[in-house]
Amino acid sequence: MTSRTPERPSAQSTVATPARPAVRPAEAVIIAPGIAVRGHLITRGPIRREGPAKLTGDARYADDLVFPGAWYGATIRSNLARARFLALELDPGFDWSTVVVVTAADIPGEPLMGAVKGLTPDQPVLVPVGGDIQHHSEPLALIAAPDRRTLRAARRAATVRTEPLPPVFDPLDSDKVFVSHDVVAGDLAAGFAAADMVLEGEYRMGHQEQLYIENQAMIAVPTDDGGVTVHGSLQCPYYVHPALMRALAIDARQARVVQAETGGGFGGKEEYPSLLAIHASLLALKCHRPVRMIYERHEDIAATTKRHPAVVRHRTGVLRDGTLVAQEIEVILDGGAYCTLSPVVLGRSTTHAGGPYRCPNVRITSRAVRTNTPPNGAFRGFGAPQVIFPVETHLNRIAEALGISPLEIRRRNVYRLGDVTPTGQVLSSSVAGLEVLERAAEAVDFDAARAVTHRARLTGQGWDAVATSPLRSPVRASASGIGIALAWHGCGFTGSGELRYNSIVTIELDATGQVRVLAANTEMGQGTRTILPMIAAQALGIPSDEVEYAPQDTALVPNSGPTVASRTAAIVGGLLVNAARKLRAEVEARNDGRSFARVYREDAARHGASRASDQFKPFPGQPFDEHAFTGDPYPAWGWAACAARVDVDLDTGEVAVREVVAVDDAGVVIHPILAEGQVEGGTLQAVGYATIEEMKVQDGRYLNDRLSTYLIPTAVDAPRITAIMVEAPFDGVPHGAKGLGEMPMDVGAPAVIAAIHDATGIWIDRLPATPERVLAGLTASAGANESGRPGSGGHDRPGGRP
Amino acid sequence: MPVEPPVETPRDLAEAFRLMALSPRTPIAGGTDLMVRITGEIGSPPDQVLDLSRLEELRGIALEDGRLTLGALTTYAEIRRSGLVARSLPVLAEAAATVGAVQIQNRGTLGGNIANASPAGDTLPLLLALEAVIEVGGARGERSIPADQFWIAYRTTALAPDELVLRVRIPLVEARQVRFRKVGTRRAQAISKVVLALAWEQADRKDRWSHVRLALGSVADRPIRARSTELYLEGSRATLETADGAAETVAAEIRPIDDVRSTADYRRQVTARILHRIIRDAGGW
Ligand SMILES: Cc1cc2nc3c(=O)[nH]c(=O)nc-3n(C[C@H](O)[C@H](O)[C@H](O)COP(=O)(O)OP(=O)(O)OC[C@H]3O[C@@H](n4cnc5c(N)ncnc54)[C@H](O)[C@@H]3O)c2cc1C
């Protein structure tokens, strides 16, 4: 594979136009800039389909949808992290006939829900009276009223009585394990025995909030057949659909799920909308009217899922030249109060824990445990960022101890073609770790940049000059540094996820001559609605604007699986190419082999509608054993590298990330601008994770549950981001795509933390590297420097808990 | 769920004073603080609102008797754009530029910042260090309140319930040096963890400092003057010993708290370090 570095330095950010890979799988469909369509050259991809409507305000999000006579719904929640729910007291002074109240006793179907098929249904739809509250802001009862004023009055007239129970907040203290794994490869003891050096470290990360712009929103409309149609902001219509059937005891036709325009998800609208849809439906079925449940920001942050906090321990043996010989890794994820998606998230943490490095002797133990905080769930990266930051930071510490550059130690250990992973997967194609690393290093001239920092250190302008006593400003006001990080990201679901869904994609040529893609994959800002028609059009040989994308409505489209795990472009896109090829072959066959593009309208007029579908078939390779955790967890891996430059304010510990070069191998690039958008957005989210995004938790409650207190980077905090795309196509799908959306999120934080180290000499082992932690590290290193050793930041600072 | 209180819009100050005298109303200027309260989720929402937008008497920036006068309705954007401010007191434009972001600067007013009395209000330490005078008034007449007597307790001002903030007067002093520094979590839309303003008089760079005024935000229940540190700095020169002593004095003098934005330790340490840095820069060593 090859790649090209962009040559447009003046732009705020740039994307490299990928050169075609030298080697492509047979019959590859090439969907990328440079293809000629109707005499025009598409160079940057078509404009996104819903873009104009979003820009002009015409796009209709859930809260914009009007349902005459709709009532407003609200949730009564717990205000303790763990308690017995004794009673819901309704003030007799309020006229309760003007509203409806729903409690657990009103649930016609299953009272407990699970995030997805196959996972333990342990989360109450509503905690029953007499039952146990397991987290703060847990739903206990629901109220709907004809207007907001009455709703507010009713909420005030309802009181919850509880009896506190002792909560567990520290995942290390939890005795409830949702799931655990133990992966062993080689002989760990022999590996450590052979090592020249062994290094241990512990790394911690807190919650991260998805902070989609549009809050969770759902409107339920009762239907004549006793069922319900929900319209909402959601990622996965076919998660919501079975959830409604189970909880409401209705059949597949009685439940209908329609996605409204969705203002961002990032994983936060993967499992939570199922619960909200059930809530809105319970109210709608009880009051026989549409019910709107639109969360405000405060409620949204307080109650919905976050990225799992994690504790990760590494013990690593290396040879003097930096070669890894033993890795012992322990991963603990804080799952929060209920199982939800924790087993799936832990699966990805486990397979990614060793990083993209060859090591013959490995043991990875992992577990997801229960604590009394709101359940944690899906978030871009899905368990990978929590293990990539530790393994990357640990490798940098090893490199430093051995006197090897961070770049060189990665070159020595990164997986190459034919290497075997800890689960026994042979990396037999599409391996681009070294390539992305070299592209990133070259783009920032990494060795030269490090040499500058290094020289400053030797001349007394470096780490010594930054260290000061706590109350004294250091000689220099700021210090700059550069860092690099590398990651891999498994394509699609972990293990047999795809087999469980058996996704189907359909393409139709209707009787009017319109070509239409039917799939359940949702647009939430990432480009699904634009790229799937492009992929279909390419396979059919027609312009992409001649292909429609059907609305994500379970009454119209088949279950092509959820819009998660960066699987849409890769897996769904692959099924779509196959379906489109079938349709094309069928139409061309009955038209004397004339091209689909020429004949399809005429064919529709003459023969009526045609449809073709394709259903998922297992990829070649070893099957994955979900208990032993052996085999091929993913059919292919994507590769990502990131180089970051930071300035650290030495008076205050503030970190400004100035520049990021992100190099990502997504297999193929389908739409360069949208791809660039994924890289920029993911990078900025990673910068936030690395530096300022910190959920402060007290007694199981999120203290900063508002936009004014949960801070993410603004436009002026954003670094200059350069996106470079490398293409190492995946031969398991006809178009070569592996997925892109999550990789930038995986790799940004360790690069920033490495850059902070380069600037200051301190190691941050706990995310985020808040100014409080960095300053603690700087002043600790002042003391430590007298004994010649830079200190470590962040160990003992609670980081702002009151 | 927002409430919609009744709103009155007086055409001139006399009418505004009359309405305020009838019964207390909550004034709205830019609304950037008030509209946050309108949801009723944070604090009690206002019952009755007095819209100040037509009160031309409360607008404008002028130079009068050696004092810079800013009407209560002056926005941050106006401060940043003002040639007069740029020439006579550029540090005020510097501070205005750190408030919120463009949208907030277009609507938010100096009078709103003063009356809102947040311990983190960014312009307030500067007004304290510059010994500004806040002119207020109502149906009973006008009066002048020195800045250091204006914020009297947590989110409480010396304003009577029927009074409005009318304008601010800042004395312009020939040999005065002023420094301003805000430390927030991010580079825009951030409420201060620490905000510091320092003023001193010095005819020549080599001279001793006199008339030292040090004011701080976000380290107490209201914006404060750090009087012990002022005393320590009075008559000194910008040496390393001075900086070390001032840093230690201020660290001992303030009692910040842990809250959702930062820790007491961090606030104390950073206050000391940025003061130390300002003295270091002033001394040129
Ligand atoms: C997103 C955001 C970011 C912000 N960032 C900052 C920041 O960085 N730094 C900062 O200091 N503040 C910040 N604020 C707070 C706010 O913008 C400022 O305090 C601003 O100066 C308030 O002015 P206003 O005209 O909008 O006040 P309003 O909201 O109209 O009023 C604020 C209060 O003052 C009273 N009031 C207003 N004018 C008068 C008057 N003339 N006489 C008597 N009472 C009056 C009102 O009744 C009300 O109680 C931010 C707010 C938001 C929403």
Q: Among B42, B116, B127, B143, which is best to mutate for testing ligand 1, by the most ligand atoms less than 8 A from CB?
A: B116
pLDDT at A33 over 80: no
pLDDT at A40 over 50: no
- Which member of B185, B259, B269 has the closest CB to residue A471? B269
Alpha carbons A139 and A136: distance in angstroms, whole number: 9
Percent of chain A with pLDDT over 90: 87
Q: Where are the beta strands (DSSP E) in A206-245?
A: 217-222, 228-232
| Overall average pLDDT of the A652-663 stretch | 97
Query: What three-state secondary structure class fits A337?
Result: coil
Q: Do A651 and B277 touch (CB under 8 A)?
A: yes
* Least confident window among A492-501, A728-737, B176-185: A492-501
Alpha carbons A76 and A103: distance in angstroms, whole number: 10
Position with higher pLDDT, A794 vs A505: A505
User: A468 contacts in B (CB within 8 Å)?
Assistant: 273
Domain boundaries A64-167+214-304, corresponding CATH code: 3.90.1170.50
Residue of A nearest to B100 (CA): A708
State the pLDDT at residue A496: 87
Q: Do A802 and B259 touch (CB under 8 A)?
A: yes
Mutation for testing the B interface, residue in A63, A298, A651 having most B CBs under 10 Å = A651
- pLDDT tens digit string along A698-713? 999 999 999 999 999 9
User: A692 contacts in B (CB within 8 Å)?
Assistant: 185-186
Alpha carbons A720 and A645: distance in angstroms, whole number: 10
User: B187 contacts in A (CB within 8 Å)?
Assistant: 656, 714, 716-717
- Which member of A651, A711, A779 has the closest CB to residue B185? A711
Indicate if B87 and B118 belong to the same structural domain.
Answer: yes
CA A646 to each of CA A461, A602, A653, A758: distance values in angstroms, whole numbers, following the listed order: 17, 60, 12, 9
- Which member of A651, A708, A715 has the closest CB to residue B274? A651
| Residue A156 forms contact with B (CB below 8 Å) | no
Q: What string of DSSP letters covers A245-287?
A: HHHHT--TTTEEEEEPB----TTTTTSHHHHHHHHHHHHHHHH
Indicate if B32 and B65 belong to the same structural domain.
Answer: no
Kindly list the domain boundaries of chain A, sorted by start residue.
1-45, 64-167+214-304, 310-493+632-793, 503-615
User: Which residues have CB under 6 Å of ligand 1?
Assistant: B 26-34, 36, 52, 72, 99-100, 104, 107-109, 111-113, 115-116, 121-122, 164-165, 189, 191
Length of chain B: 285
Q: Return the axis-axis angle of helices A672-691 and A743-760, rounded to nearest 10°.
A: 50
Which fold is adopted by the domain A310-493+632-793?
Aldehyde Oxidoreductase; domain 4 (3.30.365)
CB neighbourhood size of A87 (10 A)? 11
Indicate if B139 and B185 belong to the same structural domain.
Answer: no
Q: Give the CA-trace dihedral at A713, A718, A719, A722, to 10 degrees.
A: 120
Indicate if B228 and B134 belong to the same structural domain.
Answer: no
How remote is the CA of residue B32 from the centroid of ligand 1, in Å? 5
Indicate if B201 and B219 belong to the same structural domain.
Answer: yes
Indicate which residue's Cα is closest to atom 15 of ligand 1. Answer: B33
Q: What string of DSSP letters covers A375-437?
A: PP---TTTTSHHHHHHHHHHHHHHHHHHT--HHHHHHHHB--TT-B-TT--B--S---HHHHH
Query: What three-state secondary structure class fits B156?
Result: strand
- pLDDT tens digit string along B215-233? 999 999 999 999 999 999 9
CATH: 3.30.365.10, 3.30.70.20, 3.40.50.720, 3.90.550.10. Which one for A503-615?
Answer: 3.30.365.10
How remote is the CA of residue B115 from the centroid of ligand 1, in Å? 8
| Residue A696 forms contact with B (CB below 8 Å) | yes
Residue A578 sits at φ, ψ, to 5 deg, of: -65, -45
In the listed set B125, B151, B171, which residue is the last one of a domain according to the structure? B171
In the listed set B129, B145, B171, which residue is the last one of a domain according to the structure? B171
Show the domain range for B112. Answer: 57-171
Q: Do A772 and B273 touch (CB under 8 A)?
A: no
| Overall average pLDDT of the B162-183 stretch | 97
Residue of A nearest to B40 (CA): A152
Nearest to A494 by CA among A639, A370, A625: A625
State the pLDDT at residue A467: 59
State the pLDDT at residue A117: 83
- Which member of A473, A704, A799 has the closest CB to residue B277? A473
Residue-averaged pLDDT of chain A: 91
Indicate if B189 and B278 belong to the same structural domain.
Answer: yes
How remote is the CA of residue B28 from the centroid of ligand 1, in Å? 9
A394 neighbors A201 (Cβ within 8 angstroms): yes
Cα-only R_g, chain A: 27
Ligand 1 atom nearest the C-alpha of B123 is 11
CA B123 to each of CA A336, B37, B52, B90, B218: distance values in angstroms, whole numbers, following the listed order: 42, 21, 20, 13, 12
Alpha carbons B74 and B167: distance in angstroms, whole number: 9
Alpha carbons B112 and B27: distance in angstroms, whole number: 9
Q: Where are the beta strands (DSSP E) in A511-625?
A: 515-518, 547-549, 610-615
Q: Do A473 and B41 touch (CB under 8 A)?
A: no
pLDDT at A24 over 60: no
Q: Which two tokens stand for residue B247?
A: 């840093």
Indicate if B188 and B244 belong to the same structural domain.
Answer: yes
Indicate if B232 and B275 belong to the same structural domain.
Answer: yes
Alpha carbons B227 and B244: distance in angstroms, whole number: 17
What does the DSSP 8-state code read for residue B90?
H
User: A704 contacts in B (CB within 8 Å)?
Assistant: 260
Measured between CA atoms, how close is A165 to chain B, in angstroms? Answer: 26
Q: Do A802 and B257 touch (CB under 8 A)?
A: yes
State the pLDDT at residue B203: 86
Q: Do A470 and B260 touch (CB under 8 A)?
A: no
Nearest to A637 by CA among A429, A347, A380: A429
Q: Do A775 and B266 touch (CB under 8 A)?
A: yes
- CATH label of the domain that carries residue B116: 3.30.465.10
What is the number of domains present in chain B? Answer: 3
State the pLDDT at residue A464: 58
Measured between CA atoms, how close is B184 to chain A, in angstroms? Answer: 9
| Overall average pLDDT of the B108-126 stretch | 98
Percent of chain B with pLDDT over 90: 93
Indicate if B268 and B209 belong to the same structural domain.
Answer: yes
Q: Where are the beta strands (DSSP E) in chain B?
A: 7-8, 26-28, 49-51, 61-64, 67-71, 133-138, 141-146, 151-153, 156-157, 164-171, 176-183, 194-201, 210-217, 224-225
Indicate if B42 and B71 belong to the same structural domain.
Answer: no
| Residue A654 forms contact with B (CB below 8 Å) | yes
Q: Do B273 and A472 touch (CB under 8 A)?
A: yes
Mutation for testing the A interface, residue in B269, B278, B279 having most A CBs under 10 Å = B269
Q: Is residue B269 part of a domain?
A: yes
Q: Is residue B1 part of a domain?
A: no
pLDDT at A581 over 90: yes
User: B266 contacts in A (CB within 8 Å)?
Assistant: 771-772, 775, 800
How remote is the CA of residue B29 from the centroid of ligand 1, in Å? 8
- pLDDT tens digit string along A607-631? 999 999 999 999 988 999 999 999 9
Distance, C-alpha A43 to centroid of its chain: 29
Alpha carbons B88 and B82: distance in angstroms, whole number: 10
User: A711 contacts in B (CB within 8 Å)?
Assistant: 185-186, 189-190
State the pLDDT at residue A456: 77
A721 neighbors A751 (Cβ within 8 angstroms): no
Question: Structure pTM?
Answer: 0.94
State the pLDDT at residue B206: 83
The sign of the torsion formed by the CA atoms of A314, A184, A497, A179 equals: negative
Query: What three-state secondary structure class fits A765?
Result: coil
Query: What three-state secondary structure class fits A372?
Result: coil
Residue of A nearest to B248 (CA): A471
Q: Which two tokens stand for residue A78?
A: 């717990």
pLDDT at A797 over 50: no
Q: Is residue B2 part of a domain?
A: no
Nearest to B240 by CA among B184, B188, B279, B201: B279
Nearest to B110 by CA among B200, B32, B2: B32
What b/e string do you get for B74-87 counting C-beta neighbours within 10 Å, with b at 16 or more? bbbbbbbebeebee
Mutation for testing the B interface, residue in A63, A652, A655, A706 having most B CBs under 10 Å = A652
Alpha carbons B192 and B168: distance in angstroms, whole number: 22
- pLDDT tens digit string along A402-458? 999 999 999 999 999 999 999 999 999 999 999 999 999 999 999 999 998 888 776
Residue of A nearest to B4 (CA): A149
Ligand 1 atom nearest the C-alpha of B26 is 47
What b/e string do you get for A615-636 counting C-beta neighbours within 10 Å, with b at 16 or more? ebeebeeeebebeebbbbbbbb
Measured between CA atoms, how close is A795 to chain B, in angstroms? Answer: 15
Residue whose entry in the numeric block shows the structure tokens 């905000």: B195
Q: Is residue B224 part of a domain?
A: yes
Indicate if B221 and B262 belong to the same structural domain.
Answer: yes
Alpha carbons A544 and A33: distance in angstroms, whole number: 13
In the listed set B141, B171, B201, which residue is the last one of a domain according to the structure? B171
- CATH label of the domain that carries residue B237: 3.30.390.50
Residue of A nearest to B243 (CA): A472
A580 neighbors A613 (Cβ within 8 angstroms): no
| Overall average pLDDT of the B110-117 stretch | 98
State the pLDDT at residue B42: 75
Do domains A310-493+632-793 and A503-615 share one topology? The answer is yes
State the pLDDT at residue A791: 40
Percent of chain A with pLDDT over 70: 91
Res. A690 pLDDT band, cuts 50 70 90? very high
Q: Is residue B65 part of a domain?
A: yes
Q: Do A800 and B262 touch (CB under 8 A)?
A: yes
Indicate if B112 and B182 belong to the same structural domain.
Answer: no
Indicate which residue's Cα is closest to atom 28 of ligand 1. Answer: B31
Alpha carbons A771 and A777: distance in angstroms, whole number: 10
Q: Do B187 and A296 touch (CB under 8 A)?
A: no
State the pLDDT at residue A3: 41
Alpha carbons A370 and A177: distance in angstroms, whole number: 6
Query: What three-state secondary structure class fits B164?
Result: strand
Ligand 1 atom nearest the C-alpha of B29 is 30
Length of chain A: 802
Nearest to A3 by CA among A445, A686, A664: A664
- Which member of B101, B248, B262 has the closest CB to residue A772? B262
Q: Which residue(s) pair with A489 in the sheet?
A: A638
pLDDT at A4 over 70: no
Indicate which residue's Cα is closest to atom 32 of ligand 1. Answer: B112
Q: Do A152 and B1 touch (CB under 8 A)?
A: yes
| Overall average pLDDT of the A315-342 stretch | 98
How remote is the CA of residue B251 from the centroid of ligand 1, in Å? 29
Q: Among B8, B47, B106, B113, which is best to mutate for testing ligand 1, by the most ligand atoms less than 8 A from CB?
A: B113
A206 neighbors A694 (Cβ within 8 angstroms): yes
pLDDT at B98 over 60: yes
Q: Which residue(s) pair with A360 in the sheet?
A: none
Q: Do A651 and B273 touch (CB under 8 A)?
A: yes
Q: Is residue B124 part of a domain?
A: yes
pLDDT at A475 over 80: yes
User: B276 contacts in A (CB within 8 Å)?
Assistant: 471-473, 651
State the pLDDT at residue B127: 98
